Amino acid sequence: MEQVSIGGVMIEKTAALAPMASVADKSYRLMCKEFGAAYMVSEMISSKGLCYGDKKTAVLCEIEPQERPYALQLFGEEPEFMGRAAYILNKFSPDIIDINMGCPVPKIVSNGSGSALMRDPVRAGEIIAAAAENACCPVTVKIRAGWDKDSINAVEIARIAEQAGAAAVTVHARTRTQFYSGRADWDIIRQVKQAVSIPVIGNGDVTDGASAKAMYDETGCDLVMIGRGSYGRPWVFENVREYLENGVSVPEPPVDEKMKVMLRHAEVLCRHKGETQGMKEMRHNFAWYIKGLNGAARLRGASGELNCLDDLKRVTEEILKIN
């Protein structure tokens, strides 16, 4: 399989898993890696939380060997803190440090972080430069198309990122005001790819092998990234590889196989977070795994009653009986 080099870090040109706060935690990432995710990024790490020694923030920096190649993703609005945080991350030995300039969530944006930085190119450049100067690994940046349809500036920000020392840029081809609605404008990814010499990772509306190949072909991007298309479908990465290598569209797994994967996911989650907390967090994953199955609507409504692994196993048996 062809590879792309991001600052010397070699990554297979299949599909990467997008960073998704409160979704792509360690258990989620490990499941996607099991099915062939080529590259993964951590949940967002607060630069200030890291600098002030917050214990919950430090937990997000822990890396499993199986996750590599792997990036730790920082967010923040002050160059000084972002530089210090990048220096602190060195002790965790990430393959890459990624800077989040794409998160649309109000509590992040209201502080001037995430996609708010799309409206402040000068500060964005200063943040990237501060991180790059202090990191012992390549630094990358994840951006959006722009703030809204009247301020599409991904090309400008990507050029600033390259000049500031970024080794690659990821483009989520939606604006901040779109959040995750509407269609991603892949032409923005193409424009960025033509404007910079560093690798460009494309993100938005890739859900299977055919759409992954279409993004590669239409944009010329160096790597495809999948976010919501992996919800309840960690096998999507295996499907992308098969399509890119052999041109074959692999059908969705049978129900019994989906349920086996879901149970394994739950077991990994409970191992990392304890059964009580793990099952609370498994409830949204459960809803994604059963999407489209007979009885899904009723079972989603009862997901709040999933308090232990045995509860999930009993529900799984019920699903298999009616599907």
* Residues labelled as active-site residues: 103
Would you give the end-to-end CA distance of the chain in angstroms? 37
- In whole angstroms, how far apart are CA 125 and each of 89, 121, 171, 274, 279? 20, 6, 16, 41, 41
Residue found under tokens 């994604």: 288
**Cβ–Cβ < 8 Å for 258, 219:** no
Radius of gyration of the chain, Cα coordinates, nearest whole angstrom: 19
Q: What are phi and psi of 43, to 5 degrees?
A: -65, 165
Short-list 238, 269, 253, 236, CA closest to 30: 269
Asked whether 132 and 98 are in contact (CB, 8 A), the reply is no
